[in-house]
Amino acid sequence: MNPNTRPLPAVALRASGLSALAFATLVFPAAFAQSATGSATAPAPKEEVITLSTFQVTTSADKGYRAGNSVSATRIDTPIKDMPFSISAFTEQFINDIGARELMDIVAYAPGVTSGAKEFTQGNNRYSIRGFDGDVTPQRNGFVGNRYVDAGNIQRVEVVKGPSSLLYGQITPGGTVNYITKRANYQNFALVRQQVGSHDFLRTDIDVNHTVADGRFSGRVVAAYEKGFEWAELGSSESMLVAPSFAWKVTKNSNLIVDAEFYRRNEDPLVGMMPNLAVSVAANASNFPNLSDRARAQAYVDVGNLNLGFIGYPPVASTFNYVGAGDYRHSDFDSLNVEYNIQLGTKWNARANYGWNKFYLGNKLTGLAEFTITPAAAYLATKNRFDYVAELRANPGTVLADPTKTATALMTRRKRLEESFGHSNSYQAELAGNLEFGGVTVKPLFGAFLTSQRSGARRRESSAAPGAGVLNQNTTNTQHFQPWNYNDPATWDRSPYYDETALPFNNLRTGKGTDSALYGVLNLGLMEDRLILIGGARYNKTESDGANMLPTLTGGNPVLDAPFEATKTTPQFGAGFKVRPDVLLFASYSESFFIEERNLTLFNPAFNPAIATNAATNPVTINAPALPTTGKGYEFGVKTDLFEGRVSSTLSWFHLERQDRVLRFRETVSTFEGQQFPTITRQGTVDESEGFEFEITWSPLDNWQVYATYTDMDIRTTKATFPTIPTYSADPAVQAAYVAAYNEAVGLILNAVPEGSAERLASLWTRYTFTNDSMKNFWVGGGLVYTGDKAQRTANPTLFFESYTLYDLALGYDWKGAGAAWSGSVSWKNVTDKTYYPANQARGLPERVVVSVSAKF
């Protein structure tokens, strides 16, 4: 990709989006009308019965919010009530009723799941599941998915709990999310949905499916255009989705499915994160003239690179947006999947998959997301900066406005363009059997997987403060704009423009890698399927290398990373026993792995302090390959499917461990030139999550559905490899201050809750459909999502978001007329207009109302 490539501007997006929707609206319904015979379903030839592949989920067993089957936990279509694992599945009706626009709107209701969104160029599909998050995108039909996912193309969502690398390769110990897209099927229909809402919201969805040749060929197009909620200062967004798919029944026993998805999301400008407050607590004489205070500050850095001066948000309006008027975030995601399924005799099925994925994210962003605070000299004459931080956290508005305590509160207006891009090709082959030997059901699965990916990252930014009095329009490409003063809103100038492509590069990287795996799973049913045993293992191999391309801009050669290679075998076992046909007791054990970092910085064991330090012949530190970050976990639970499915529930207790997360330490080493303080990376960390989850789908009446969850966890770092306490000072008082702060920092790290995790979560959604004559076909719905205190920042383990509860309400009416099934609804989101933050780098949406009308022909 050309370094100066820029994505589609908003006007072009709007035009292309409307054109695509117009095309889908006109062409596909017209085709449907030409061949429709009045039947909603095109019949198959009498000698052929159209059946789904064993690898595709069957939705015929779904009833309202109760999902009958799942493919995500075993790769084959299996009743959820018969799986000895915790799985949450969300049906299309549930997705529609809650008014979901994005994937996170859906999985927020799942037990143990909360947002870990990083935004910038990482998207918003990052989750903390059972206390663990990571830069792992969700699965799309079992393959790597996208970092932004529009709900318009989601048929179903399944959340698999626990470290299940057996089927999904690199994931975190908490589990993974797999969303199943809308694909061509053997029905004829055309659906159009129009939505309007508060904050200038507008959305159009089209879903057209058509089948020909007696059901042998089917095509489907899902398309959507959305003008997002404009609730913050300057922030606006537009997105377009086009997702065609095609199904061909090649022979009586085989079919071919091709599906693609093209998604464009333009935020012009974006809504930036809420800026934090930051007080410099760097251990230098300027910040800490007192030696004991300086020793304390140094200990916090040495132990785990802690920054206790990074704290919460200043008092500003909930609509505050620090970005510039010319800023943007443009996100492009394209994917293509080809799947061939074939039945081999009466006992075996096979499939082959190919997946292609491409993405680009570009983020032009003016300003740092923090106000840098300088305490007043008069305050520091009697107290230190840690005292100031404590007062600022307790009462930020008062302290910031008090000139005897605060000298300046400034936001650096750095100019920046951050880009990430890449593509991947994935291949998969699987063979599944369904055998029986003397009353024992045997369902083996064998698979092979290979993916190759290439990626890149570019960053351009200014690096120097402007001179005093220099006008913003006169700053150079290397200079920031003039800073904003928190206490003087007149300085909050968002209008200056700059050419982001003219900024100097400070990061230019490329990378490539491959992941390959062989896996096998055996599913046994004994005692007339009362005893269910599932076990398997996966052999994983990952290889990668990268390069720093910055030197090439000045005629130099790329700086190549050391090639990285790791292998890992991950087993998984589960057992379930039906004490009665509708009650299953289960237990499971599984493992996972994830490549967090590829290289460690370690002390050079051959370093000789008696001779001069030399980067080539006598370096202080060396690089070494990192171990994979691994996970393991076990759980015990009970599943019910009582009263013919009216009460479907899962209660489980789990224990998870994540090992070898990387920590950074500033350590002391004596050299020929004197003391040096290199940053050393260490593994050996253990993070644990233990708790229970409860999930229930309950239908008290045929026209009343309830879905509810509750999660309670204890999430902590329980082990880390710390360096030996060094001798910081010969002064006993100063050394004592250092040791006390060092031990305090160790305690903070060992009890830290991982960033983005909340220990208590709950959700509820219910729908009641009226059946009496006067209110017949009306329905009401409502629910809540509760998130407990959430860890905000790894660098400051004392920092948490306060708990919050979001309430939603909905009212709908369904009717038939003019040859169509109609549906209308009003959704009221965030009823109490709660200001909340899903993650440290994300903003929650305010109160909003959406009116929706749809017709299905």
What's the Cα-to-Cα distance from 423 to each of 326, 333, 656, rounded to whole Å?
A: 28, 10, 32
- Residue located via tokens 């969850």: 709
User: Alpha carbon of 174 to those of 591, 634, 787, 800: distances in Å?
Assistant: 10, 11, 17, 21
Answer whether 589's CB lies under 8 Å from 575's CB. no
Q: Are 55 and 47 in contact (CB under 8 A)?
A: no
CA–centroid distance for 121 within its chain:
12
Both tokens of 444, joined, read 């083996």
> Which residue's entry shows tokens 């082990």?
719
| 599 closest CA partner among 682, 538, 501 | 682
DSSP string covering 150-201: BGGGEEEEEEEES--HHHHSB-BTTEEEEEEE----S--EEEEEEEEETTTE
The per-residue pLDDT for 23 is: 40
Q: Do residues 840 and 223 make contact, with C-beta atoms less than 8 angstroms apart?
A: no
3-state secondary structure of 129: strand
- Is 164:136 a contact under the CB 8 Å cutoff? no
- Which residues, other chains included, contact 251 with Cβ-Cβ below 8 Å and sequence gap of 6+? none
φ/ψ (deg, to 5) at 752 = -70, 140
Closest residue by Cα to residue 218 from 173, 238, 180, 188: 188
Which residues of the chain carry a pLDDT beneath 70?
1-61, 71-75, 118-124, 135
Residue-level pLDDT at 452: 96
| CB 258 within 8 Å of CB 245 | yes
Amino acid sitting at position 675: Q
Backbone angles phi, psi at 737, to 5 degrees: -65, -40
C-beta separation of 784 from 805 below 8 A: yes
Cβ atoms of 612 and 672 closer than 8 Å: yes
| Structural domains for the chain | 10-277+306-367+414-462+503-856 (2.40.170.20)
Beta strands in 42-94 (DSSP E): 69-70, 78-79, 87-90
Q: What pLDDT was estimated at residue 133? A: 82
**What residue has token string 């330090």?**
613
pLDDT on residue 166? 85
Give the DSSP H/E element, type plus range, for residue 400: helix 396-401
Strand duo 583-594 + 559-560: pairing: unpaired
